[in-house]
Amino acid sequence: METMQSILEKDKEKFLQLLNSEDDAERAAAQVNRELSRILYVFNEQDESDAVKKAAMQMITAVQASASLLDSAGATDVYHRTQQETNSNGHLPVRFWIYVMLTVACGGGAVAMYILKGNPVSSVIELPLILALLVLMIFFTFLSGRSAHKVTARPKEEYLTKTTFDAMKIYRSLFTTVVAIDRQLQDVRMDTAMAEKKQRIETRGNLSDAELDLLSSLLETALAEEGDGAKQTVSEISYYLHRKGAEVVHYSADHKPWFDMMPSGGGSGTIRPAIVMDGNVLRKGLAAGGQ
């Protein structure tokens, strides 16, 4: 009979291949859940008791619910890139030429007014204008010089992270989990066997001597007859005693101590079956011609 551990070991290579094909934690957890479902299916196809199958399903379901918590992180690589954006197309911006034109206009206007100024009275008005034009010329000169430089934008930072999953790490975690489940299921098997044995011991007292005598007599009568009715009677009595923890045993050389023997020249056979519980004879059988 296979354990969950042996089932997982048989599927190791395929399972690791599937994990290595994933690059997302959620999809890796889904692969783990599918593998757990497959293990449970194969395990429950075996001849296990209902108690063991139920316990196996509960344990696997609990592990599936926490599959996303499995430590699956391997190496994490971080990639960094800085992009510096400038107006490095080799041409001066349009605003530079506008500022140059305004600078020349202000400078030319100031010179022209200074050369063409008239009498002293008019100079009182023209002088402030000349000074204003000179100030504007200086200001536009500053702006044109500034715009002539390359404009540097804020650096653009880009980060890219890539995590590679450690498939073997996930496998080892899952392997440890199914080993623990196998141990728990073994305890369930032992507890179930002990409970069944205890039930048989407790029900032994339900078979009174009078009931055993009656059932033994009915078995002997049914075996002496032929037909489906007699076979049905033997079957029903056998099933009834089985539920009580006892078994109907027909004669064989191995069970000879459980029978009273009577000589017969017509061969050996069971005349009355023995009724046995846990190796103890409740009612001895009767056989003919045994050696």
What are the tens digits of pLDDT across the range 208-219? Answer: 888 899 999 999
Which of 140, 76, 84, 145 shows the shortest CA–CA distance to 108? 140
Is 168:16 a contact under the CB 8 Å cutoff?
yes
Is 223:248 a contact under the CB 8 Å cutoff?
no
Burial class (CB in 10 A: 0-12, 13-18, 19+), 262: exposed
Mean residue pLDDT of the chain comes to 80
The pLDDT value recorded for residue 285 is 93
- 272-283 pLDDT, tens digit per residue, is 999 998 888 989
The pLDDT value recorded for residue 154 is 54
Phi (first) and psi of residue 160, to 5 degrees? -135, 125
With bands split at pLDDT 50, 70 and 90, how would you rate the model's confidence at 159?
A: low
The pLDDT value recorded for residue 43 is 93
Give the pLDDT mean for 100-111: 79
- Say whether pLDDT at 80 is over 60: no
- Say whether pLDDT at 290 is over 90: no
Question: Partners of 248 in the beta sheet?
Answer: 275
The amino acid at 90? G
- The rounded distance, in Å, linking the Cα atoms of 174 and 277 is 44
Q: Which of 75-79, 154-158, 220-224 has the lowest mean pLDDT?
A: 75-79
Is 169:72 a contact under the CB 8 Å cutoff?
yes
With bands split at pLDDT 50, 70 and 90, how would you rate the model's confidence at 125?
A: low
With bands split at pLDDT 50, 70 and 90, how would you rate the model's confidence at 88?
A: very low
- The rounded distance, in Å, linking the Cα atoms of 87 and 96 is 13
Give the pLDDT mean for 81-96: 60
The pLDDT value recorded for residue 117 is 64
Most confident region among 39-43, 124-128, 133-137 by mean pLDDT: 39-43
Which of 66 and 264 is assigned the larger pLDDT? Answer: 66
- Say whether pLDDT at 198 is over 90: no
In our burial notation (b when 16+ CB lie closer than 10 A, e otherwise), range 203-223 reads eeeebeeeeeeebbeebeebb
| Structure letter (DSSP) for residue 89 | S
Q: Is the pTM of this model over 0.75?
A: no
H or E segment to which residue 209 belongs: helix 209-224
Q: How far is CA 74 from CA 70, 71, 89, in A?
A: 12, 9, 45
The pLDDT value recorded for residue 121 is 46
- Say whether pLDDT at 76 is over 90: no
- Say whether pLDDT at 38 is over 90: yes
